[in-house]
Amino acid sequence: MKSRAAVAFAAGKPLEIVEIDVEPPRKGEVLVKITHTGVCHTDAFTLSGEDPEGVFPAVLGHEGAGIVVEVGEGVTSVKPGDHVIPLYTAECGECLFCKSGKTNLCVAVRATQGKGLMPDGTTRFSYKGQPIYHYMGCSTFSEYTVVAEVSLAKINPDANPEHVCLLGCGVTTGIGAVHNTAKVQPGDSVAVFGLGGIGLAVIQGARQAKAGRIFAIDTNPSKFELAKTFGATDCINPKDHDKPIQQVIVEMTEWGVDHSFECIGNVNVMRAALECAHRGWGQSVVIGVAGAGQEISTRPFQLVTGRRWLGTAFGGVKGRSQLPGMVEDAMKGDIDLAPFVTHTRDLEGINEAFDLMHEGKSIRTVINY
């Protein structure tokens, strides 16, 4: 079939809106009509050429919501008409990782997913006879996409897709990082570095966890107003200080914060986030994705004296078993998604969505097909 898609033909180039060919779903696969998709910083990261797994040409996008159109052989958990959220972290329930009960990092389709391919090692997308690669197992920048069955969460059809698409990545990642990774407790102090969709979701999660002081840090002060409405108690622009930001926070708290979260993808900020954690027990969660070849460092003494460095993918959330419940939470108002959607555009406006992100003007632009 034909599908309108925003194709990344090469790194560093704007996406091109073209009509691609989409093959039917094969065994264990599902054809999904995407109705809405967010644009996450990770899409921009991969488009920039910094992603070691970035392959081109590709259909990017991984923060979507849609409706099942057709299922391939053997698919039993979804049927045409079901409302779904594609998952870049699959949940097969059978692999070592799923069975461990310790992690959401299912490996069922991860190897081929990282190469831009379906689990059988081929692609369902082409343009003028040339293959187009998939992305993160989702490719939500195409109106019709093919996804592995294990990479689909079936959700309440009454949910607002313009909002719950954000549970496909950003909001789930931030809220999950607070509850599943850091396990923030009532009264704990929290520092959030980077106030985009991820950082603001961390703040929302911290408020749910009844955190005490919540420090919101960004070099763009226009983010502070929304951060405060989500629950930030102190907003800090590192540019307003001569001292390193970790020193500023340690001085404001005496010994540092109980939890810090890096939501930018900057390895220097990751160090600052670790070093503002409380002596003896403070922990720092890396959420941001850093470019190829970049590494984190700190004095080992920071760890010797009791700080812990953690990381999280998709907030530790198991997509098929836990995401439907988060959609229900959003429908009840326990997760507030509306403030994240600062802009909406049609598919033709997708490059503008990237511009708004880079200019610091948006939290999330949602593409409405």
Give the footprint of ligand AHE on this chain (CB under 6 A). 40, 42, 51-53, 89, 110, 169, 289, 313-314
**Is residue 50 a contact partner of residue 265, using CB atoms and an 8 Å limit?**
no
What's the closest the beta carbon of residue 287 comes to ligand NAD, in angstroms? Answer: 5
Q: Does 148 bind ligand NAD (CB under 6 A)?
A: no
Does residue 195 belong to the site contacting ligand NAD (CB under 6 A)? yes
Which span (15-23, 126-134, 308-316, 323-331) binds ligand NAD, by CB under 6 A? 308-316
What is the nearest approach in angstroms of Zn ion to the Cβ of residue 41? 7
Q: Site residues for ligand NAD, window 150-169 (CB under 6 A)? A: 169
Q: How many C-beta neighbours within 10 Å does residue 339 have?
A: 13
- Choose which of 29, 82, 188, 218 interacts with ligand NAD (CB under 6 A): 218
Residues annotated catalytic, as ranges: 40-42, 62-63, 92, 95, 98, 106, 110, 169, 364
Q: What is the dihedral angle through the alpha carbons of 337, 326, 205, 353, rounded to the nearest 10 degrees?
A: -40
> Which lies closer to ligand NAD via its Cβ, residue 142 or residue 312?
312
Residue 51 binding partner per list ligand NAD, Zn ion, ligand AHE, none, with a CB distance cut-off of 5 to 8 Å that depends on partner kind: ligand AHE
> Radius of gyration over alpha carbons of the chain, in Å?
20
Helix (H) or strand (E) holding 329: helix 319-332
Query: Shortest gap between Cβ of 57 and ligand NAD (angstroms)?
Result: 21
Q: Choose one: 28-36, 77-85, 155-163, 310-318; the region binding ligand NAD (CB under 6 A).
A: 310-318
52 binds, among Zn ion, ligand AHE, ligand NAD, none (CB under 5 to 8 A by kind): ligand AHE
- Distance in angstroms (rounded) separating the CA atoms of residues 198 and 247: 24
Cα 110 from Cα 189, distance rounded (Å): 35
Helices (H), the chain: 41-48, 96-100, 110-113, 161-164, 170-176, 197-208, 224-230, 245-253, 267-275, 300-304, 319-332, 350-358
- 42 near ligand NAD (CB under 6 A): yes
53 binds, among Zn ion, ligand NAD, ligand AHE, none (CB under 5 to 8 A by kind): ligand AHE
Alpha-carbon distance of 340 to 79, in angstroms, equals 30
Q: Classify burial at 58, counting beta carbons within 10 Å of its beta carbon; exposed 0-12, middle 13-18, buried 19 or more.
A: buried
Angle at 323 between CA 85 and CA 356, to 5 degrees: 55
Tell me how far apart the alpha carbons of residues 174 and 165 are, in angstroms, rounded to a whole number. 14
Of residues 153 through 192, those in contact with Zn ion by CB under 5 A are 169
Enumerate binding residues for ligand NAD (CB under 6 A). Answer: 40-42, 45, 169-170, 173, 193-199, 217-220, 223, 238, 263-266, 269, 287-289, 312-314, 357, 360
